[in-house]
């Protein structure tokens, strides 16, 4: 019940395209859903986050779509750039700020 399922495992997109990463969860006690970006050899960096009372949040080229009834949420990266090539993790948080992470998606944006 604590799991967060993430797909796809890897994703290849052309420069300028849209990258879409999906996550699903079971635990309705999750109250906060952040996305992290991680480059090789670095720690995860917070990208964007959403709360379950909001269906969509946009920050620059990054958008989170949230479907509370389906217990699913997704990250959309518009106008993908080679510099966006990294591993992306969705996560979910219960009270007390413990994070449960998805398995990660390795994104490659070809020039």
Partner 1 sequence: DAGVTQSPTHLIKTRGQQVTLRCSPKSGHDTVSWYQQALGQGPQFIFQYYEEEERQRGNFPDRFSGHQFPNYSSELNVNALLLGDSALYLCASSPGSAQETQYFGPGTRLLVL
- Which lies closer to partner 1 via its Cβ, residue 77 or residue 102? 102
- Which lies closer to partner 1 via its Cβ, residue 44 or residue 77? 44
- Which lies closer to partner 1 via its Cβ, residue 83 or residue 96? 96
Residues binding partner 1 (CB under 8 A): 6, 32, 34, 36, 41-46, 49, 89, 91, 93, 95-104
Contact 100, 87 (CB under 8 A): no
Q: Which residues are registered as beta bridge partners of 87?
A: 38, 106
What pairing do the DSSP bridges indicate for beta strands 99-101 and 33-38?
unpaired
Min CB(25)–partner 1 separation in Å? 13
- Which lies closer to partner 1 via its Cβ, residue 72 or residue 100? 100
Min CB(47)–partner 1 separation in Å? 11
Question: 46-52 long-range CB contacts below 8 Å, 24 or more apart?
Answer: 47/75, 47/88, 48/75
Min CB(104)–partner 1 separation in Å? 5
Give the count of alpha carbons within 13 A of 102, CB side only: 32
């Amino acid at each position: 019940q604590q799991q967060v399922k993430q797909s796809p495992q890897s994703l290849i997109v052309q420069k300028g395209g849209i990258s879409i990463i999906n996550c699903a969860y079971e635990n309705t006690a999750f109250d906060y859903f952040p996305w992290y970006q991680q480059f090789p050899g670095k720690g995860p960096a917070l990208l964007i986050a959403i709360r379950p009372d909001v269906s969509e949040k946009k920050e620059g080229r990054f958008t989170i779509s949230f479907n509370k009834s389906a217990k699913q949420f997704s990250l959309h990266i518009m106008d993908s750039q080679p510099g966006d090539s990294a591993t992306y993790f969705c996560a979910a948080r219960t009270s007390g700020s413990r994070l449960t992470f998805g398995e990660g998606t390795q994104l490659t944006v070809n020039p």
